[in-house]
Structure 1
Amino acid sequence: MTVVVKDSITLTLLYSPTPRVVDERTLCCALGTTVEQALEQSGLLRDHPEIALHNADEFVAGVWGRKTTPNHLLRDLDRIEIYRALTVDPMVARRERFQKQGAGRTGLFSKRRPGAKPGY
């Protein structure tokens, strides 16, 4: 049995500067690359200066949807996602949508059959 040792890894980097716009890049780098090094090599920091890599309060990134730090070591075929700050609290948005729709037309009681028990 032969073991093949790879000295490079392939990464995918994603950043969405605005809703429904995604900047996706594929990058080959050396084994032992961190998230910070991958961002610098990909050119995302140069093209999107709003990414605050050195501000720990504003910089949020993930690998395959799990939050990570800039010094996280990457593996082959990792997907790095750079998250932007939320503009609206999701719970507030849900509450406003529900109020706009009206309580009688949504949910479990929206489609009642004539003569049926309440809730069925």
Structure 2
Amino acid sequence: MDPAELSVELFWSPARGELREQRLSLPAGSTLREALVASQWFEPAGIETLTVGIWGRMVALDTPLRERDRIEVYRPLTVDPKEARRQRFQAAGSRIVTRHRPLGRKA
């Protein structure tokens, strides 16, 4: 690979159970925004509304990329995690957690 290029991976899950992966070769000094445009998965006008991260950490679109970065595009939450847990509890009718801390004697 030419030292003036960098290789990154782009991951996106547009729907539940679906995962898209794409390897990109970009010029050195490219930004996250440029990588998203190069993927051709997203309209350039809609990129500003995306929530994106590198290796699990949310970052700004003007963040410069490094060799072998993993770019992740996140979907918005459909349900609040606390509410989802309440719904699972009501459906199961019992506690979700199965391992409990043993009761100890008071000294």
TM range (shorter): 0.7 to 0.9
The total of aligned residue pairs comes to 102
CA distance in 2, matches of 1:105, 1:45: 39
Secondary structure of 1:18's counterpart equals coil
Give the structure-2-normalised TM-score: 0.82
Structure 1 segment 37-116 matched on structure 2, within 5 A = 37-46=34-43, 52-55=46-49, 59-103=50-94, 107-108=98-99
Shift of 1:52: 3.0
Asked whether the 8 Å contact 2:10–2:72 carries over to 1, the reply is yes
Q: Which runs of 5+ in 1 are unaligned?
A: 110-117
Partner of 1:15: 12
CA distance in 1, matches of 2:42, 2:25: 17
The question of 1:31 aligning with 2:22 is answered no
Secondary structure of 1:54's counterpart equals helix
Asked whether the 8 Å contact 1:108–1:119 carries over to 2, the reply is no
What's the C-alpha RMSD, in Å, of the aligned pairs?
A: 2.5
Could you say which structure has the larger radius of gyration? 1
Shift of 1:54: 2.1
| Runs of 4 or more above 4 Å deviation | none
Q: Which runs of 5+ in 2 are unaligned?
A: none
| Cα gap change, 1:31 to 1:107, in 2 (>3 Å) | same
Aligned-pair identity in percent equals 35
